[in-house]
Amino acid sequence: MKFSLRQAQSVVKKLSFRDGLVTAVARDFRSKDVLMVAHMNEEAVIRTLTTGLMHYWSRSRGRLWLKGEVSRHYQHVRDVWVDCNGDALVFDVEQVGAACHKGYYSCFYRKVERGELVQVLKRKFKPEEVY
Amino acid sequence: MKFSLRQAQSVVKKLSFRDGLVTAVARDFRSKDVLMVAHMNEEAVIRTLTTGLMHYWSRSRGRLWLKGEVSRHYQHVRDVWVDCNGDALVFDVEQVGAACHKGYYSCFYRKVERGELVQVLKRKFKPEEVY
């Protein structure tokens, strides 16, 4: 799913950026599993909507990144949802490869059980072979 | 699902708070629909895990809040997932009433279509009758 630049700019105008950012949830479009939670600045939203590929703003690295730019594990946008406050978006995506840089399909591969974080997903790839 | 204080504190130690906060995604435990995205400080995580009811940190009001404290639309915790960086959590919850203060079951009641935000969910309650 791609939008024109004018359409993307029109969406951005309806969002409420806080410290320049909105929260982005990427979800598998089939299973609805949450793949990752990250942030987007205006440019990341525009690039995501106009290219159909998820782009994020990395707070730790202080730069825009195309998800998959190194791993080629791109996220193709299928649908975009906006919350009541306009400061969070849910993206239904088609995930190539796996979302997590640690090799799991989803970054949420651990569940809380009796106060411990228990790994419930198996690795899909070895990070050292991809990055 | 409830945890002991010691278990909750053990989970908190494994999280990475940024400016004192982690991102919390609340999801319907049956449909997996995302209901809302908000934030939690350490105390909100502890209270959520020990009471089994979702608590958030309101950045705009600068205070802890129990979801449902006014509306009685509580969110009962069923499962808790933690991401690779420890700065985002997904909660599978049983939603009483509706999650959105505007009267919708989910805060994500709008979808992006041709650059417009199109409402796709119907209201479940009138906000003026609840708040």
Q: What is the mean pLDDT of residues B17-21?
A: 96
Tell me the shortest Cα–Cα distance from B101 to chain A, in angstroms: 8
Q: Does the residue A112 lie in any domain?
A: no
pLDDT given at position B130: 85
Q: CB B112 to CB A84 under 8 A?
A: no
Which residues are CB-contacts of B112 (< 8 A; sequence separation ≥ 6)? A3, A11, A49, A79, A80, A81, A82, B118
Q: Does the residue B12 lie in any domain?
A: yes
Q: Does the residue B14 lie in any domain?
A: yes
Tens of pLDDT along A33-70? Answer: 999 999 999 999 999 999 999 999 999 999 999 999 99
Tens of pLDDT along B23-38? Answer: 999 999 999 999 999 9
Tens of pLDDT along B89-128? Answer: 999 999 999 999 999 999 999 999 999 999 999 999 999 8
Do the bridges between strand B88-95 and strand B22-28 make them parallel or antiparallel, or are there none, so unpaired? parallel
Q: Does the residue B130 lie in any domain?
A: no
Tell me the shortest Cα–Cα distance from B58 to chain A, in angstroms: 13
Q: Does the residue B91 lie in any domain?
A: yes
pTM confidence score: 0.96
pLDDT given at position B131: 82
Tens of pLDDT along A66-101? Answer: 999 999 999 999 999 999 999 999 999 999 999 999
Cβ contacts of A107 on chain B, cutoff 8 Å: 83-85, 88
Q: Does the residue B118 lie in any domain?
A: no
Q: CB A32 to CB B33 under 8 A?
A: yes
Task: Tell me which residue range forms the domain holding A27.
Answer: 5-101
Please check the confidence at residue B129 and state whether its pLDDT lies above 90: no
Q: What is the mean pLDDT of residues B10-34?
A: 97
CATH of the domain at A56: 3.10.20.810
Tens of pLDDT along A10-30? Answer: 999 999 999 999 999 999 999
From B35, B18, B9, B17, select the one nearest B91 (Cα to Cα).
B35
Contact present, B131 and B71 (Cβ < 8 Å): yes
Q: Does the residue A28 lie in any domain?
A: yes
**Total Cβ atoms within 10 A of residue B41:** 19
Contact present, A31 and A105 (Cβ < 8 Å): no
Please check the confidence at residue B6 and state whether its pLDDT lies above 90: yes
Q: Does the residue B104 lie in any domain?
A: no
Tell me what the pLDDT averaged over chain B comes to. Answer: 96
3-state secondary structure labels for all residues of chain A: CCCCHHHHHHHHHCCCCECCEEEEEEEECCCCCEEEEEEECHHHHHHHHHHCECEEEECCCCEEEECCCCCCCCEEEEEEEECCCCCEEEEEEEECCCCCCCCCCCCCCEEEECCEEEECCCCCCCHHHHC
Looking at the partner chain, which of B11, B34, B115 has a beta carbon nearest the beta carbon of A6? B115
- Percent of chain B past pLDDT 90, that is, above it, reads 93
Cβ contacts of A111 on chain B, cutoff 8 Å: 79-82
What residue has token string 């009267």?
B103
Eight-class DSSP state of B95: E
pLDDT given at position A86: 98
Cβ contacts of A80 on chain B, cutoff 8 Å: 111-112
Please state the domain count of chain A.
Answer: 1
pLDDT given at position A131: 82
